[in-house]
Amino acid sequence: MSRFWDRAIQTASLPSQRHFLDSYTAYLHAIVAEARDREEAHCRRIDDYLNLRRHTVAAKPAFAIYEMGMNLPDEVFNHPVIAELGDCITELMLIENVKHVRHSRVHLPLMAFTGYGLIQ
């Protein structure tokens, strides 16, 4: 990662560096939480699982990499239309990824039954 960052900061604007660090930090926290869930055989409720997956699909760090060649001011990056577009892309990635999950603890019907207390 350090070689990537050493090269990225040579051309990336300061706002894009900040956006990358913020999004990548959120991604790392999410994958640690996901690993902890697997280790502890924890089954999240569907809404909690989907909120976590919005970070683990890594859409926002990918957006930040694309942004590195641009010098977008925060007003553009945080504009409501741009933010909503990013959220829509993240949702599409999340839906596609959830369709391919094979791990039994993230099986959506199992999560629904567990979340409603129908099974332990």
Is pLDDT above 70 for 111? no
pTM to 2 decimal places? 0.78
Dihedral over alpha carbons 29, 35, 38, 44 (to 10 degrees): 10
8 Å CB contact between 38 and 102: no
Q: Nearest to residue 57, comparing CAs of 39, 31, 82?
A: 31
> pLDDT at residue 46 above 70?
yes
Reported as a pLDDT band with limits 50, 70 and 90, residue 71 is confident
pLDDT at position 33 is 95
The H-or-E segment that residue 19 falls in is helix 14-39
In the chain, what percentage of residues exceed pLDDT 70?
81
pLDDT at 104 over 50: no
Separation of alpha carbons 90 and 51, rounded Å = 11
Sequence ranges of the domains in the chain:
2-115
- Give the residue among 40, 38, 4 at the shortest CA–CA distance from 20: 4
CA atoms within 13 A on the CB side of 57: 25
